[in-house]
């Protein structure tokens, strides 16, 4: 009996010893910690930026944590900010532009204003606007979500279309092209996920509109661009041009394995597409189609994110100096991350660098980065507001009805009502 008891005691003591030595890892002075969500893209990009800074400032090191997904980072950050506990928060966190205002407004004082120390006019203005509150900007813009129409040039050629046929077209024209492609090659035009409003949002933004008015009130039932976008979206389905998918794996799987002809998406998808080296030369990029209406342009945005500094940071001075030196001052760094990671940064002066002018064999030798730069300068600036996620959910709720041919005005009214109720 004693033997058993003592053995159990020993196991317990051992176990507890194993647990207690892992106490809080105090952020060592001079170490800048960063939360990012994709190793290959923003993780390695930030590591490279850090290495550049450490080379000149050997006392400053970097700890880039890329082990959590974006959803998880939001959950962690939000729990901690709600708990009012800054312990263990990083110095820098990456936040997607369309939710920046939500964080800035619900957690006043949690983020450090950067516009006093860093010249924001150096960056693409629509990115700066997304993180500006009461005249102060809180972020250093990172990647742009400027959109393009990625397409399989081989499929389109088979259907009798050239690059010129896709240049600066409308969505209605793309639907016509899609019908021919489907007929000639049997491939659906594109793959869409009913649980994702991305395409509708990029259509809407191409006409300079968003879900909200300037005063933050809902802009749904009187939003001609949104209505047109939803109509176009429904038309894609009704003409049987869509391969329905569910979730990211299936979504990317469909176009990387050659099941669809085009992908309207943010430029950050480039690495995913280029990961399939055997498809080199079979892809092209055209400007994103515009809505067939007054004021719409062949440029839009999807996603994209920026660096935010937590006010709780112990290394604020070094952190801001780092962002200023590398992210707001080193054009060569931007060439490097473009070539290595396919990251299109938002620093305007970097656009004149060599890498941005280079052509890409994967895309048939076209100067794609130059084109993305051009489109980037044309992206209409919109105010993402604080309730985009709520309205997205309301739009998603109407999707199956809309593609089945439901009345769009009624759907808009329903979206409006649900969003209104949720915005409290």
Partner 1 sequence: MTFAMLRRGIVYVLLSLAAFVSVFPFYWMVVGATNTSAEIIKGKTSLGSALITNATAFFTQVDALRIFWNSGVIAVVATALTLLVSSLAGYGFEMFRSRLREKLFGFLLLLLSIPFAAMMVPLFVMFSQAKLVNTFTAVILPTIASIFIIFYFRQATKAFPRELRDAAKIDGLKEWQIFLYVYLPVMRSTYAAATIIVFMANWNNYLWPLVVLQTAENKTITLILSGLTAAYTPDYGLILFGTVLATLPTLIIFFLLQRRFVEGMLGAVK
Partner 2 sequence: MTGWAFIAPALILLGLFMIYPIVWSLWMSFQVGKGMNLSFGGFANILRLTKDAVFIRALGNTFTFFIFQVPIMIVLALLFAVALNDATLKFRGFFRTAIFLPCATSLIAYSTVFKSMFAIDGVVNQTLMELHLITAPISWLGDPFWAKVLIIMAITWRWTGYNMIFYLAAMQNIDRSIYEAARIDGVPAWARFRYLTIPMLKPVILFTTVISTIGTLQLFDEVYNFSAGSGGPSDSTLTLSLYIYNLTFKFMPSFGYSATVSWVIVVLVGILSFLQFLVARDRRTS
Q: Tell me how long the chain is.
A: 424
User: Does residue 301 touch partner 1 according to CB under 8 A?
Assistant: no
Asked if 281 and 366 touch (Cβ cutoff 8 Å), the reply is no
Residue ranges in 92-131 that form contacts with partner 2 under rule CB under 8 A:
102, 105-108
- Residue 36 or 60 having the CB closest to partner 1: 36
Contact set for partner 2, span 162-221 (CB under 8 A): 193-196
By CB under 8 A, residue 41 contacts partner 1:
yes
Q: How many CB atoms lie within 10 A of CB 118?
A: 19
Place of tokens 């890498």: 355
Minimum distance, C-beta of residue 421 to partner 2, in the bound complex (Å): 6
Sequence-distant (≥ 6) Cβ neighbours of residue 284 within 8 angstroms:
150, 151, 152, 153, 156, 163, 166, 363, 364, 366
CA distance 368 to 352: 14
Question: Which segment (68-76, 157-165, 216-224, 382-390) binds partner 1 by CB under 8 A?
Answer: 68-76
Residue 333 interacts with, from partner 1, partner 2, none (CB under 5-8 Å by kind): none
Using CB under 8 A as the criterion, what x/- string covers residues 362-391 for binding partner 2? Answer: ------------------------xx-xx-
- Identified binder of partner 2 from the candidate list 398, 408, 412, 415, rule CB under 8 A: 398
Query: In the set 46, 50, 53, 66, which binds partner 1 (CB under 8 A)?
Result: 66
271 binds partner 1 (CB under 8 A): yes
Angle between helices 224-238 and 198-206 (to 10 degrees): 130
Q: CB of 222: closest distance to partner 1 in angstroms? A: 36
- For the chain, what is the radius of gyration of the CA atoms? 24
Q: In what order do the strands lie in the sheet with 61-65?
A: 61-65, 31-35, 92-96, 305-309, 139-141
Q: Is 28 in the site for partner 1 (CB under 8 A)?
A: no
Please say which residue, 85 or 352, places its beta carbon nearer to partner 2. Answer: 85
CB of 4 to partner 1, least distance (A): 8
**Beta carbon of residue 101, minimum distance to partner 2 (angstroms, whole number):** 10
Scan for tokens 């990211």, then name that residue.
248
Please give the residue ranges that form the binding site for partner 1 (CB under 8 A). Answer: 1, 4, 11-12, 15-16, 18-20, 22-25, 37-41, 63, 65-72, 75-76, 79-80, 82-85, 87-88, 248-249, 252-253, 256-257, 268-269, 271-272, 275-276
Please give the residue ranges that form the binding site for partner 2 (CB under 8 A). Answer: 71, 74-75, 78, 81-82, 84, 102, 105-108, 193-196, 243-250, 386-387, 389-390, 393, 396-401, 417-418, 421-424
């Amino acid at each position: 009996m004693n033997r058993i008891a003592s053995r159990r005691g020993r196991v317990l003591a051992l176990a507890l010893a194993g647990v207690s030595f892992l106490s809080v890892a105090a952020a060592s002075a001079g170490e800048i910690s960063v939360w990012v969500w994709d190793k290959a893209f923003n993780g390695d990009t930030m590591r490279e930026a850090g290495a550049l800074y450490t080379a000149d400032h050997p006392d400053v090191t970097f700890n880039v944590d890329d082990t959590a997904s974006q959803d998880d980072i939001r959950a962690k950050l939000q729990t901690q900010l709600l708990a009012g506990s800054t312990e263990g928060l990083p110095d820098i966190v990456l936040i997607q532009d369309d939710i920046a205002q939500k964080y800035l407004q619900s957690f006043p004082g949690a983020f450090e204003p950067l516009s006093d120390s860093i010249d924001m006019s150096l960056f693409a203005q629509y990115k700066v606007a997304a993180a500006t509150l009461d005249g102060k900007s809180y972020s250093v813009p990172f990647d742009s979500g400027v959109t393009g129409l990625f397409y399989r040039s081989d499929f389109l050629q088979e259907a009798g279309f050239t690059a010129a046929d896709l240049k600066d077209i409308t969505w209605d024209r793309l639907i016509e092209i899609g019908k021919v492609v489907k007929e000639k090659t049997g491939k659906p035009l594109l793959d869409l996920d009913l649980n994702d409003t991305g395409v509708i949002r990029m259509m809407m933004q191409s006409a300079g509109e968003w879900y909200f008015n300037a005063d933050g009130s809902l802009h749904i039932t009187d939003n001609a661009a949104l209505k047109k976008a939803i109509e176009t979206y429904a038309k894609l389905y009704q003409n049987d041009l869509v391969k329905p998918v569910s979730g990211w794996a299936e979504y990317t799987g469909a176009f990387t394995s050659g099941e669809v002809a085009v992908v309207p998406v943010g430029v950050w998808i480039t690495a995913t597409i280029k990961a399939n080296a055997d498809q080199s030369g079979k892809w092209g990029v055209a400007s994103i189609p515009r809505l067939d209406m007054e004021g719409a342009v062949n440029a839009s945005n999807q996603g994209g994110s920026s660096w935010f500094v937590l006010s709780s940071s112990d290394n604020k001075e070094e952190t801001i100096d780092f962002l200023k030196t590398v992210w707001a001052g080193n054009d060569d760094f931007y060439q490097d991350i473009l070539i290595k990671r396919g990251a299109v940064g938002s620093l305007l002066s970097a656009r004149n660098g060599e890498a941005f002018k280079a052509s890409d064999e994967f895309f048939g030798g076209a100067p794609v980065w130059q084109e993305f730069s051009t489109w980037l300068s044309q992206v209409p600036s919109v105010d993402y507001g604080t309730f985009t996620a709520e309205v997205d959910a309301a739009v998603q709720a109407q999707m199956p009805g809309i593609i089945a041919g439901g009345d769009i005005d009624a759907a808009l009214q329903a979206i409006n009502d649900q969003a209104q109720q949720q915005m409290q």
